[in-house]
Structure 1
Amino acid sequence: MQQHDVVRHHATPLGNPAYPPVNPRFTDREYLNIVYRTDYDALRAVVPEPLEIDEPLVRFEVMRMGDVSGYGPYTESGQAIPVRYEGERGEYLHAMYLDNFPATVSGREASAYPKTAGSPALYVDHGALVGVLDHGSVRVATATMGYKHHELDPEEAAAQITVPTYLLKLVPGYDGAPQVAQLVRTRITDVVVKGAWTGPARLQLCAHALAPMADLPVREIVSASHLLTDLTLAPVTPVHDYLAH
């Protein structure tokens, strides 16, 4: 392989890249969202400057991907924190756990999503929508919501998931020092809301050293939603370079 051939490849292994060279389209992406109030000091300890916090809120999510071009079906769970950056309201993605290796690797390498391995699930059980997250054999989170109790306005539903999203892109150099340290911005585009509902909800987070969701404890449930959508993820754009400051 000649030198100019190397840069034509997007990922390793060269003969079998860890993820495909596609901008995935999500079809039948189903959400369970629970917004809850937590401790302000706990949020401030994990949200990086220059992002600002108004209220101590967290959005816990479990997402079942019905079909994703290039990746197939998988499930994902995580925590997103409402923030402001230069006056713009959005969310900071704090942690994401999923059961698909190519989607994990591409999310980290090609973008900046804080993805790692986990075993989430989303299903209906005796009239309740249930979202769970396990780390190995240990339960980390259990979320429940009344199944389709009340319809939610589609525009309100789309607004919940299309706010700008901020992520940390951290890449170490070979000496261990940071080679890339950026705050980046993206958002969801081309959204089609196929269904949206709300209802009573509860959320339990269990302490785990390698999945520390419970470090942002649940103090009060603020809202909940169940969404079925089609959507696309836009590429990330750097907005703040920590190495330049």
Structure 2
Amino acid sequence: MKQEDVVAHVTTPLVNPAFAPMVPRFTDREYFNIVYRTDPEALRAVVPEPLEIEEPLVRFEVMKMGDVSGYGPYTESGQAIPVTFDGERGEYLHAMYLDNFPATASGREVSAYPKTIGAPNLYVDNGALVGTLDYGTLRVATATMGYKHFALDPAEAKAQITVPTFMLKIIPGYDGAPRVMELVRTEITDVVVKAAWTGPARLQLFEHVLAPLADLPVREIVSASHILTDLTLAPVTPVHDYLKGAQR
């Protein structure tokens, strides 16, 4: 394979890339969100500077991807933390667990999503919307919400899922020291909110050393939403370089 052919690729293996070289479009992406209050000390221990915390809130999410170009259907779950950066409100993506390897590899390599393999699920059971996350054979999260109890304003639903998101991009060098260590920003674009609901909700988090969602314990449920959308993820932009200083 000639050098010019090698540099045309974006990932390995060269003859069987881990993911397709494309920007995926998400059709019928279904969100189950629970915003809850947690311990301020627990948040300060995991949110990196220069991000700032205004309230001790966490958003637990389960997302069922009905159809994704390049990846096919899959489900994802994780935690996002409301933060501010340089006066802008957004969310810091703390942890994400997926059941699809190409989406996991692409999210980590092309962008900076903190993705790892897990077993999330989203379904309806006896009048309740249920979101679960298993790590290996063990349950680490169970969320329930009254199924379609109350309509949610589409504008409010769109505002919930289109806030800017911040992530850490860390790539080690061959000597083990960081080669890239950046705070990056992205957002959701081309959003179509097809339907949205709210209702009463509950969330249980279970201790696991390799899936430590419970390190941000549930103290109070603040809100819940169930949203059906089509959308596209924008490319990431570096906003702070930990190795060279801030940039904008």
TM tier relative to shorter chain: over 0.9
- Matched to 2:74, the amino acid is Y
Task: Indicate the residue corresponding to 1:6 in structure 2.
Answer: 6
CA offset at residue 5 of structure 1? 1.7
Query: TM-score w.r.t. structure 2 length?
Result: 0.98
Distance 1:125 1:45 in 2: 36
Which structure 2 residues correspond to residues 174-193 of structure 1 after superposition, within 5 A?
Answer: 174-193=174-193
The aligned counterpart of 1:103 is 103
Match of 1:238 in 2: 238
5 Å matches for 1:1-245?
Answer: 1-245=1-245
Measured after TM superposition, the shift of residue 236 of structure 1 is 0.2
Counterpart code for 2:228: L
CA RMSD of aligned residues (A): 0.4
| Count, aligned residues | 245
Distance 1:146 1:136 in 2: 28
Percent identity for Structure 1 against Structure 2: 80
User: Whole-Å Cα distance in 2 between the matches of residues 121 and 101 of structure 1?
Assistant: 16
CA deviation profile, 1:113-137 (whole Å, cap 9, x unmatched): 0000100000000000000000011
Distance in 2, matches of 1:72 and 1:117, equals: 16
SS of residue paired to 1:49? coil
Q: Secondary structure, in 3 states, of the residue corresponding to 1:72?
A: coil
The alignment partner of 2:179 has SS state of: strand
Query: What is the Cα deviation at residue 173 of structure 1?
Result: 0.3
Q: Give the aligned residue type for 2:232.
A: T
> Which runs of structure 1 show a deviation greater than 6 angstroms over 4 or more consecutive aligned residues?
none
Structure 1 gap ranges (5+): none
Matched to 1:156, the amino acid is E
Aligned-pair distance for 1:32?
0.4
Which residue type is aligned with residue 44 of structure 1?
R
Deviations 1:172-208 (A, max 9, x none): 0001000000000000001000010000000000000
* Secondary structure at the counterpart of residue 112 of structure 1: coil
Cα distance, 1:10 vs structure 2: 1.1
The residue type paired with residue 78 of structure 1 is: G
Q: Distance in 1 between matches of 2:236 and 2:10?
A: 16
Structure 2: unaligned runs, 5 residues or longer: none
The residue identity in structure 2 corresponding to 1:67 is D
State the Cα distance separating 1:158 from its structure 2 match.
Answer: 0.3
Find the aligned partners of 1:140 and 1:101 in 2 and give their Cα distance.
Answer: 20
Following TM superposition, by how much is the alpha carbon of 1:48 offset from its aligned partner in structure 2, in angstroms? 0.3
Amino acid corresponding to residue 26 of structure 2 in structure 1: F
Q: Secondary structure at the match of 2:122?
A: strand
Secondary structure, counterpart of 1:103 in structure 2: helix
Q: Supply the AA of the counterpart residue of 2:122.
A: L
Q: Distance in 1 between matches of 2:22 and 2:210?
A: 30
